Amino acid sequence: MKSRRRSRQKWWMVTVGCVAAALPLCLSASGVASAGGTRPPRPPTPTINADYLYNELYTMSKAFSYRISGADGDPKNADDVFNLPPTVNGWQELFAYWKANLTNTRVNTSLASFATVTDHYFRRTGGYRFDSDDAEVTIPGATCAGQRVLLAAHPDETPVPNDIVGEINSGTTSGTTGFGAARREITDSNLGNEGAYDGLSGVALTMAEYNALLDWYHANGTYPKRTLKVTLLDASRGKTGDGLFGREGSAYYADNLIPSGPQGQYVLFANMDSLGLDYPAYHLGTEFFWNNITGGGVGPWSTFVKATPTAPNSAYPNKGSGSPGANITANAPAIGQLRTDLQAAIQEGFQQQGTKYNFSVPLENPLRYNQNGQAPNPYSGVAPVKPAYSAADQAQYSPVRDDADGLEDEQAFFDKGIPGFTVSGVKNSNSDENPYGASVSSTTKATPIIGYAGNQTTFQLGNSTPQPGMTTTVAPAAAGDTTVKVADVTNLAAGEPIFIGSGADIEYGQIQSVGTAGTTGTGVTLTAPLSGAHPSGVAFNVNENQPVGYLSDSIEHLNYFAGGAPHGLTPQQPTEELKRALELPAQWTSLLLTGDDYLGTTAQPDKPVAYFETTPAKPDSTLTVTFDAGFSRDAKGSSHGLKYYWDFGDGTHAVGERVTHTYHSAVHADVKLAVGKGNNWGLYRQAVAVGNPAGAAPSTSPCGTFSPSESAHLISAANKGRYQR
C-alpha cells in the first residue's frame, strides 16, 4: 500500500532554466536573485511567484496528456510494458515530475530537503488492472508535528469506459481486442484534452503555494510548527455509473490514512480544484460576452469557495453519532475559526493583489460571441482597463459559502468534521457563473455556458467542432421518473452518462434508450429513476467524459476563455487575465496556511526533527504495525547519521529507522520516538490504536510533545540503547 522515496533521490524530469531575455541576472524558481545584488528584505508574508505557477501549468499541460488513473501500467514499475507514452496517458510521468519538483532544493529552497515522498497505492473500483496512487509529500512540523495541514488537488483526467477497461485487462497487446485497441480509444476519445483547467490548474496552484511557503520560511529563517502535507488525490474522475464524481482517492485517503488517536489529525484541508476561469478573469476577455446591453454589464467569472459548513445541511446531515453533521457539530469551534481566518485571508489577498496591480485588470482581447452585442467591432487594439480587487468585488465574486452539494474531493474530509475549503472556478452553468444584468432577457440568461466552458469544462471552439449531445428538458420530471422529455437528441445515445440541471440541483444518470421525436419532445429513458425533480427547460447534456467528439481542455483554450487570446507574446506566456485568475486564490491560500492555527511559524530547527507514521495508518484489524521514522531529519534537513530509539508503549523497545512490532493484544499504544545526532535529540509520540481497542486513547498532547520529565526519561533511555542507522 505504501512506499517511500527520500527527497535526496534524483528524478529525471526536473529542469530549472531561464528565459532568454534582456535581464540583468537570472532568477531562480523561487524568485530570489541567484547571482549578484543584495538579498531583499525579509518578506512579511508569502508571495506567489505567478511566473512559476504558470510555467508549471504550461509544462505539465504540454507534457502529460489525459492522465487516466489505473490505466497506465504498474505505478511501481515505470518500465512496465503497459506504461503508455505521456502523450497518450501521462499519469505515471506526471506523478514522477510532481515528486521531483517538490523535493528539489533548487526549485523550493533548502527546506525541500525536509520533504519525504510517500505513495499510498489503492485499486479503484470498476475492473481497473493497475493501482492508483494518493501520492504525498510531507514536511514534519518542528514543534507540533502531530497536527497536520493538507494541501490537495486531483491529478487525473477522463475515466475510461467499461469496454476500454476490458481491453486493458485482457492480457494481450492486440490492436483489435487488447491493450493496443484501448490505447487507440483513449487517444481518440481525448484528442487535445490536456486537462489544463480540469485538474492541472489545481495541481499547479498547490505547487506554487508550496513554493511560496518554503521560500518565505527560508527567507525569514523560520520553519512550520505543524506538519505540511501536499497530496495528489487520485482517481477523482471515477468510472462510475454517472461517469463522474467517483472521488475514490479522497475517500481512500480520508478513510484509511488519518490515524484514530489524538495525533495525526488535520487542522486544515485546502483543496485546489479547477482554476483559471474565475475572478478576476472576464468571459473571453470582455464584459460584453453573451450580452447585448449597451455599455456592457457582464462581470468577471465567479470564484467558488466552498467551506466546511458551520452547521449540518442536506449534503452533511446529522444522523447521529459519527454522521457527517454530528462530526461538524462536534468540531464547530475549529470550523468557525477557520471560516473567520479564511475570510480574513481572502480579504488580505485581494488587498495585496490590488496594491500590486493598481486595483485594475486589463481586458486584453475583447471578443464577441457570434458578433452579437456591443463589444468593440473592430477591436481598436487598446485593451480597456477595469477596476478590480475591491472589497465589493470580493463579496460578489469570491464569497465564502457553506458547501451545500459535496460534489468535490472535500466531501470525504468535511464528512469527518475537518475544517477546510475547496476553491474552483466555473463548473456547472447557473446564474452564479453566468452573471447577467437584471435587464437581460431570460432567453439570453438561459444560454448554457456548458457548451463552451461548462460541466467539468468542455472547451470547444471553432466551426463544426464535434460536440457531445447538449439539449434541454421540455417537460417537468419528477423524482422517481425514468423517462425525461428533451428538445433534441443530437449526439444522444444509449449507454452515455448524462447530467440534468445545474449547480446544486445537478443530477447524474445514464441513458438506457432514446425514443423518437414527437410534438412534445423526445423521450429519453434512463437506467435508474431520478432522485430529484427537475423543471422544464433545464440542461440535459452528455457528460464530457465520453468518446464523443473531440474535447480540448488545452492551455491555449484556458488562456482564450480567461483573456480572449490563446496566450501572451509567446506560447509559454499567459494572458494577463489567466495569470491573475490563478495568482489570486493561490495568494490568499498561502496567507491562510501560515496562520498560527495552521502551519504557523517557529525558528528553524537546531536539533533533529522527529516524526513517524505507521503502516497501516489505522491498524484496526491487525496487531502488527510497521513504524517509519524516515520522515525525520537533522537540523540541516539530512537523514544521514541519524540514530533512532523506539518505545512501543508496551514495555518493549527497538532501534532503527523502520521497524515492525507485533502487540500481544488490542491496545492504545503510546509510541515514543527519539531521533538523535551527536548529543542532540528530537522527540515525537503518537497514540496508536492497535487492533481496535476499547476505551479512550491516552491523554497526550495532539502535537505529540512531552513534558520535561518525560523528555529526560526518553533521552536517557535512548542514550543507553544501541542504535541502527
Q: Residue 658: is its pLDDT beyond 90?
A: yes
pLDDT band at 504 (very low <50, low <70, confident <90, very high): low
Predicted confidence (pLDDT) per residue in 368-378, tens digit: 544 444 556 66
Of 77-86, 353-362, 654-663, the range with the lowest mean pLDDT is 77-86
Alpha helix segments (H runs only) across 13-121: 50-63, 91-102, 105-108
Residue 135 pLDDT more than 50?
Answer: yes
Helix (H) or strand (E) holding 400: strand 400-402
DSSP 649-699: SSS-EEESSEEEEE-SS-EEEEEEEEEEETTEEEEEEEEEEESS-SSPPP-
Is cis: bond before 140, omega within 30 of 0? no
Q: What is the pLDDT of residue 10?
A: 30
pLDDT for 291 beyond 80: no
* pLDDT at 234 exceeding the cut of 50: yes
Residue 7, pLDDT > 80, answer: no
Q: Quick one: pLDDT at residue 548?
A: 38
User: Whole-angstrom Cα distance, residue 55 to residue 15?
Assistant: 12
Q: For residue 373, is it left (φ>0), alpha (ψ between -120 and 50) or beta?
A: left
Which has the closest alpha carbon to 526: 575, 473, 572? Answer: 473
Residue 28, pLDDT score: 30
Predicted pLDDT of residue 330:
97
| pTM for the full predicted model | 0.85
Mean pLDDT over 700-721 rounds to: 96
pLDDT of residue 240: 59
Residue 146 has pLDDT above 60, yes or no: yes
Nearest in space to 268 (alpha carbons), one of 223, 230, 325: 230
Cell of 284: 473571453
pLDDT for residue 516? 67
Q: Which of 1-15, 34-48, 260-274 has the lowest mean pLDDT?
A: 1-15
pLDDT (average), residues 360-366? 84
pLDDT reported for residue 63: 94
Q: What percent of the chain has pLDDT over 70?
A: 80
Task: Please tell me the least confidently modeled range out of 595-599, 669-673, 694-698.
Answer: 694-698
Closest CA to 238 of 137, 341, 320, 127: 127
State whether the Cα torsion 211-214-220-225 is positive or negative.
positive
- In this structure, the number of other CB atoms found within 10 A of the CB of residue 241 comes to 14
| % of the chain exceeding 90 in pLDDT | 59
Whether 196 and 575 have beta carbons less than 8 Å apart is answered as: no
H/E element, 391: helix 391-397
Q: State mean pLDDT over 82-91.
A: 89
* Length of the chain, in residues: 725
pLDDT of residue 432: 47
Sorting pLDDT into bands at 50, 70 and 90, what band is 190? low
**Which pLDDT score, from 0 to 100, does residue 437 have?**
52
What is the average per-residue pLDDT within 393-422?
95
The answer to whether the peptide bond before residue 435 is cis (omega within 30 degrees of 0) is no
Q: Quick check: helix, strand or coil at residue 432?
A: coil
Tens of pLDDT, residues 508-539 = 788 899 986 555 778 999 999 998 899 998 87
Q: CA end-to-end span of the chain, whole Å?
A: 25
302 pLDDT band (50/70/90 cuts)? confident
More confident residue, 569 or 664: 664
User: Position of cell 488490542?
Assistant: 666
Q: What is the pLDDT of residue 284?
A: 78
Q: Give residue 244's pLDDT.
A: 54
What distance in Å separates the CA atoms of residue 76 and residue 259, rounded to the nearest whole number? 25
The per-residue pLDDT of the chain, averaged, comes to 84
Residues 242-268, mean pLDDT to the nearest whole number:
90
- Give every CB contact of residue 25 below 8 A, 6+ residues apart in sequence: 33, 34, 35, 36, 37
